[in-house]
Amino acid sequence: MKLEGVFLDSRLGRRIFLLFVLAATVPTMLLSALAYNGWTRFAAAQEEERLTQATRYFALTVLDRLLAARAALDAVELDPRAAPGDERLLGIFRSIVIVPSTPAEGPGEGTRSTVSWLRHAADQVPARVIIRSRDDTTGLTRIAELETNYLWSEAFDEASGEQVCVFAGNGVQIFCSASVDIAASEARPADARTASWNLFLRHEFGVDDWRFTVLKSGGAALRNGVSFVHIAWQVVLASVLLVVILSLVLVRRTTVPLHKLTVGTRRLAAGDYGVRVDVHGADEFGELGTAFNDMAGRIGRQVHQLEVLSSIDREILEASGAARLVRRALARLAELSLGASVGIALIDPATPAQLSCSLHAPGGESCEQELALTPALQAALLVHDGAWRRAADAPALADLLAALGWPAETVYVSPARWREQTLGVLLVSQGMAASPDAAWELQVGELRDRVAVALASAARERQLQHRATHDSLTGLLNRAGLHEALEQAVHAQQSLALMLIDLDRFKVVNDTMGHEAGDELLIGVAQRIGRCLPRGALVARLGGDEFVALVPDTASGHIDEIADELVLHVGRPVMLRGTQIATGASLGVAMFPADGQTAADLLRHADMAMYAAKARGRAQVARFEPALDSAAVEHAVLSRDLTHAVERGELRLHYQPRVDARSGAVRSVEALVRWQHPTRGLLMPGAFIELAEETGLIGDIGHWVLHEACRQLATWRREQVALETVAVNLSVHQLRTPAIVDDVFAALRSHGLAATELELEVTESVMVGDVQGTSRLLAQLRAAGVRIAIDDFGTGYSSMAYLRYLPVDVLKIDRAFVKDIGSDASADIVVRAIVGLAGSLGLVTVAEGVETAAQAQLLTEMGCGELQGYHFARPLPPEALPQAVRARATPAAANAASVA
Ligand code: C2E
Ligand code: CA
Ligand code: CA
C-alpha cells in the first residue's frame, strides 16, 4: 500500500488516525479493566462458594462414615470372646472391644453412642478416632477404633490442591491433609482461600461440633485471571489493529484525494493549466475532482486565448507585420474550431478589388492565394457580423468557397472591422468537432477584434512608413526614403550613380507665381525625371527643388547620357497657368563606390558636383571630383551650418538709422540681420538670406528677427533713446503664411510696444502670385497700426498701379537710383517721379544708400522725407546706437544734415 508518504505528509491524516486509535483503545482498555475486575471478583465468590460446598460435602461424608461405622459396630456380636471375624468389619475398624457399660464410660445423657479421639502425642495427626456405643439391653458398650483410611480417605479432592483439616470441639486438630496447621493464618499462603463447616455431632454422638476447614491456595484462580488478562490484551490489540487498519483506509480515502487536489491546485496556481487530478468516485471528493478538472480546463482555455490575444497585441505593438499576425490568428482559429477549415481573408483598402486569403485546411496544409473581391462577394462577406451563411443563399460565397476548394455548404463569416472599414474576414467551415456554442462565438469574436485592430495598425504602420519615406507632393521618395534606399544599395555593394538635380529658377517661379504654381511645376518635373530614367532607377525629392535619381551603373557612358538627357528634359520650357516657364536644371553626379562609401558621403559629393555645375553656368552636368570648386562646396556647407544658426544663437541684429531729411534727427532704425558664424566670422545677409529662403529657414530667422527687434526697441525706450519706429525686413516667404499676423502681434505684445512703433519692409515681389492673400495680411497688420514699407522700390518688374490698392505707408527708393542721382538725369527723373507719386498718394518716401552729402541734399530738395545710408550711419551694433541717435538729436546735427 503506497500509504506512507501521503499518510505521513498529511496533518489531517495524522489527526484522524490518532483520533481513531484513541477513540478505539481508550474505551476498550477501560472496558477490559472493568471486566477484569468484575470477573475476578465473581471468580473469587464462585471459588468460595465451591469451597464451602466441598467442605460441607466432606464433613457430611465423614458423618455418613461415622454413622455407618456405628451401625456396623452395633451389629457386632456381644460375646466378648467371639473374635470380630466379620469380614464386613475389616477396613472399618482397627479394633473392637466390648466392655460392660459403666456410667463413667457411658456416653453423655440422651445419647447411646459417642465419638472421641485419642492422640499419643500432641502432634499426632490424624488422631485415632474411637466410637463407643452402649447397648442398654445388655449393659455392654462396644468400643472401636476406626481405620484412619476409612474415615478420611477420598473424602475430598486432593488433586484440586485443596487441603482439609478437622478440628474437634475443643479446637484440637484431629485430621489434616497438609502438614501445616491451616487454621493458623500465618502458616497459610497469601493467596489461599479457606472455608469452614461445623459438623453437628451432638445429636448423634453427644459431642461438640467438629469443625472442617478446607484451604485452597489461589493458584488456580490466579491462573484463570492471568489467562483472562492475556485474552483481554489480545482483544484490545486486535481491536486496535482493526481500528488502525480501518482508520488508515479511511485516512487514505480522505487524504489521497485531498493531497491530489492540493497538489493540483498548487500546480494550477503556478500556471500549469494542463493539470488534471485523478480523483474519481461517487463521493464529494469525486465531484470535487471533476469540478476541479473542469475548472482547470476552462481556465487553461481562457488563459490560452488570452495568451494568443496578447501575443497578437504584442505584435501590434512591435508592428511585426500583418502576415505573421494573421498566421498566429489563423492557428488560433484552427485551434478553436478543431475539425473545420478556417481562413482569414484580408481586404487591402489600398487595392479594394483584391482579397488575399490565408487558409488552413483541417489536414494542416495551408494555402495563400489572391482572389478578386467582386461587389457580390463583398456583399456576401461584409454584411454579416459573425453569422453562419449558407453558400446556397449567396452565389458569390459559393464561388469563393469553390475557388478555395472548400466543400463546405455553410460557412461562418465574421468580418474584422475597424472604424467602419472592413479589413479582413474570418471564415470557418462547418464540420467542427464540437458544435459551435456561444462561448465559441465569443472567442472567435475576441480573436476577430484583435485581428481588426492588428490589421488597422499594420495598415496605419504601412501608411506612416510610406509617409515617412515618401514625398506627399510628388509621391517620390523623400530624404529619409532616399537614405534608406541608398543605404540598402551601399550595403548590397550595388554600383550606381547618384544624380542630384536642382532647378535653377524655381525660387523665382515660386515667389512670383505662388506656391501652387510651384507645386505644379515640381510635379511636372518629377514626371519628366521619371521618364528619362531606365528601369530599376529610383527618384527622390529632397525638398524644395532638389531631386535625386539613383541609377544602377551599367556602363559609365550610359550614365553621362542619362544625366545629359535629364538636364535637357527638365530644363525644357513648360506652360504653367498660361505662361511659358523655362526652369533650367543643374545636375551633379557621384558614383558608388568610386566617389563615396556611405550614403551621406555620396549625397554630399553629388551636392558639391551640383554646385560645381551651377557655378559653371545654367543647365550643366558635373561629376564629382575631389578638387571641386570650393565656392560650390562652401555653399553646400554653409546651408548645412545655417540650419543650426538660430538654435545656437549665432544671429545678431545691427541697426541702421534713418534720419529726417529736414531736421537730420534719427527718427527710426532698420534692423539688419547678421550671422556670427563660428568659423567664418560675421556674415552679411547677402551671404545667407537667399540660402535661408531656399531652405525655408527664413521662417525661423524672420521670427527671431521680429522678436529681437521689438525687444531691442523696448529696451531703448526704457533707456530714453528717442526713436519712433523700428523697421524689420520681411521676406516674401513670411508673407505667404497667414500666421505672420499673429506672430507680429505677439512680438509687439510681449514687449509692450504699440503697433505704430513697428514698420515692416516688404519687396515688390509680394505683388506677384497670391496678391489678394498678401494684401489681406498686410491690410490686417496696417489696420492695427503697423506701418508697411515697400523696400527696394523701383527695381521690381511690376507696374506701379498696385500702389493704389496696396495697403502701404512708406516707399523706400532703391539704392540703384540714389547712387546715380546728380550724375544720371534719368535717375533724377525717376526719383522725382517716385517722390511725387508717393506724395500724391500720401506716402512717406525714404531714400536708401545715401552715401554723400550731395545725394542727401538733392534728395531733400526733391522732397524725400527720410534718408538712410552710410553718409549718416552704417548699420550699428545695438550698443552703439544710442550714442548715434543722441549725436544727431542736436540742432547742429540737424543743420549739418540740411546744409551738407
Ligand atoms: P535692404 O533691405 O535693402 O537693406 C539695406 C542694405 O543696404 C543693407 O545691406 C545695408 O547695409 C546696405 N546699405 C545701407 N546704406 C548703404 C550705403 O550708403 N551704401 C551701400 N552700398 N549700402 C548701404 P545688408 O545689411 O547687407 O542687407 C542686405 C539685404 O539683406 C537687405 O537689403 C535685406 O533685403 C536683406 N536683409 C537684411 N536683414 C534682413 C532681415 O532681417 N530679414 C530679411 N528678410 N532680409 C534681410
Ligand atoms: Ca530693407
Ligand atoms: Ca532696400
Spacing, Cα 657 to ligand 3 middle (Å): 13
pLDDT band at 366, cuts 50/70/90? Answer: low
- Of the listed ligands, the closest to the CA of 814 is 3
Average pLDDT, the chain: 83
Residue-level pLDDT at 618:
72
Spacing, Cα 652 to ligand 1 middle (Å): 14
Instruction: Determine whether 261 is exposed, middle or buried from the number of CB atoms within 10 Å of its CB (0-12, 13-18, 19+).
Output: middle
Residue-level pLDDT at 900:
37
- The DSSP annotation for 499-536 comes to EEEEESSHHHHHHHH-HHHHHHHHHHHHHHHHHHSPTT
Q: What are phi and psi of 209, to 5 degrees?
A: -60, 140
Partners of residue 670 on adjacent β-strands: 656, 727
Q: Which three cell numbers stand for residue 506?
A: 524655381
- The DSSP annotation for 134-179 comes to EETTTTEEEEEEEPHHHHHTTSS-GGGTEEEEEE-TTS-EEEESSS
Residue-level pLDDT at 279:
87
- Residues above pLDDT 70, as percent of the chain: 87
- Angle (CA) 34-38-42 rounded to 5° is 170
Which amino acid makes up residue 283?
Answer: D
Q: How many Cα atoms sit within 13 Å of 336 on the Cβ side?
A: 32
pLDDT band at 791, cuts 50/70/90? Answer: very high
Contact of 95 with 145, CB cutoff 8 Å: yes
Q: What is the pLDDT of residues 633-677, one digit of tens each?
A: 677 678 878 988 988 899 999 999 999 999 999 999 999 999 998
Spacing, Cα 796 to ligand 3 middle (Å): 12
Q: How many Cα atoms sit within 13 Å of 579 on the Cβ side?
A: 12
Spacing, Cα 708 to ligand 2 middle (Å): 16
Can you tell me whether residue 427 is helix, strand or coil? strand
Partners of residue 755 on adjacent β-strands: none
Rounded to whole angstroms, how far apart are CA atoms 673 and 685?
6
pLDDT band at 357, cuts 50/70/90? Answer: low
Give the residue-averaged pLDDT of 32-59.
Answer: 84
Rounded to whole angstroms, how far apart are CA atoms 723 and 185?
155
Rounded to whole angstroms, how far apart are CA atoms 512 and 494?
42
Rounded to whole angstroms, how far apart are CA atoms 487 and 485?
5
Please state the atom number of ligand 1 nearest to the C-alpha of residue 761. 2
Tell me: pLDDT of 804 over 50: yes
Lowest mean pLDDT among 751-760, 798-807, 811-820: 798-807
pLDDT band at 85, cuts 50/70/90? Answer: low
Rounded to whole angstroms, how far apart are CA atoms 820 and 582?
33
Give the residue-averaged pLDDT of 4-20.
Answer: 73
pLDDT band at 307, cuts 50/70/90? Answer: confident
Contact of 572 with 521, CB cutoff 8 Å: no
Name which of 690, 529, 509, 511 is nearest 583 in CA terms.
509
Spacing, Cα 846 to ligand 3 middle (Å): 10
Q: In 290-353, at which residue ranges do the beta strands (DSSP E only) sit?
A: 342-347
- Of the listed ligands, the closest to the CA of 671 is 1
Name which of 769, 765, 777, 755 is nearest 731 in CA terms.
765
Q: How does DSSP classify residue 211?
A: E
758's enclosing H/E stretch is strand 758-763
What is the residue with the minimal CA distance to atom 12 of ligand 1? 849
Rounded to whole angstroms, how far apart are CA atoms 400 and 406?
9
Give the residue-averaged pLDDT of 534-555.
Answer: 87
Name which of 336, 328, 330 is nearest 358 in CA terms.
330
- Ligand 1 site-directed mutation target among 651, 654, 689, most atoms within 8 Å of CB: 689
- The DSSP annotation for 663-732 comes to T--EEEEEEEEEEEETTTEEEPGGGTHHHHHHHTTHHHHHHHHHHHHHHHHHHHHHTT---SEEEEE--H
pLDDT band at 550, cuts 50/70/90? Answer: very high
Residue-level pLDDT at 226:
67
Question: What residues line ligand 1, using a CB cutoff of 6 Å?
Answer: 656, 671-673, 684-686, 689, 702, 705, 729, 731, 761, 791-792, 815, 848-851, 869-870, 875
Query: Crossing angle of helices 284-318/322-336, nearest 10°?
Result: 160
Q: What is the pLDDT of residues 52-75, one digit of tens each?
A: 888 888 888 888 888 888 888 888
Tell me: pLDDT of 98 over 60: yes
Residue-level pLDDT at 897:
45
Partners of residue 500 on adjacent β-strands: 548, 588
Give the residue-averaged pLDDT of 625-633.
Answer: 69
Give the residue-averaged pLDDT of 427-449.
Answer: 84
Residue-level pLDDT at 898:
43
Tell me: pLDDT of 861 over 90: yes
Rounded to whole angstroms, how far apart are CA atoms 118 and 126?
9
- Angle (CA) 248-252-254 rounded to 5° is 120
Name which of 508, 583, 499 is nearest 534 in CA terms.
499
pTM of the model: 0.41
Helices (H), 348-437: 375-382, 395-404
Which residues in 647-663 are b (16+ Cβ under 10 Å) and which e? eeebbebbbbbbbbbeb
pLDDT band at 156, cuts 50/70/90? Answer: low
Which amino acid makes up residue 715?
Answer: T
pLDDT band at 319, cuts 50/70/90? Answer: low
Spacing, Cα 815 to ligand 3 middle (Å): 7
Rounded to whole angstroms, how far apart are CA atoms 763 and 795?
9
Contact of 570 with 559, CB cutoff 8 Å: no
Can you tell me whether residue 12 is helix, strand or coil? helix
Q: What are phi and psi of 198, to 5 degrees?
A: -95, 120
Rounded to whole angstroms, how far apart are CA atoms 421 and 817?
66
Please state the atom number of ligand 1 nearest to the C-alpha of residue 702. 42
Tell me: pLDDT of 380 over 80: no
- Residues above pLDDT 90, as percent of the chain: 25
Residue-level pLDDT at 159:
65
Residue-level pLDDT at 375:
78
Spacing, Cα 65 to ligand 1 middle (Å): 178
Rounded to whole angstroms, how far apart are CA atoms 864 and 844?
8
- Ligand 1 site-directed mutation target among 659, 672, 814, most atoms within 8 Å of CB: 672
Residue-level pLDDT at 181:
60
Tell me: pLDDT of 207 over 80: yes
Give the residue-averaged pLDDT of 35-52.
Answer: 83
- The DSSP annotation for 760-826 comes to EEEEGGGGSSSHHHHHHHHHHHHHTT-EEEEEEET-SSS-GGGGGTS--SEEEE-HHHHHHTTT-HH
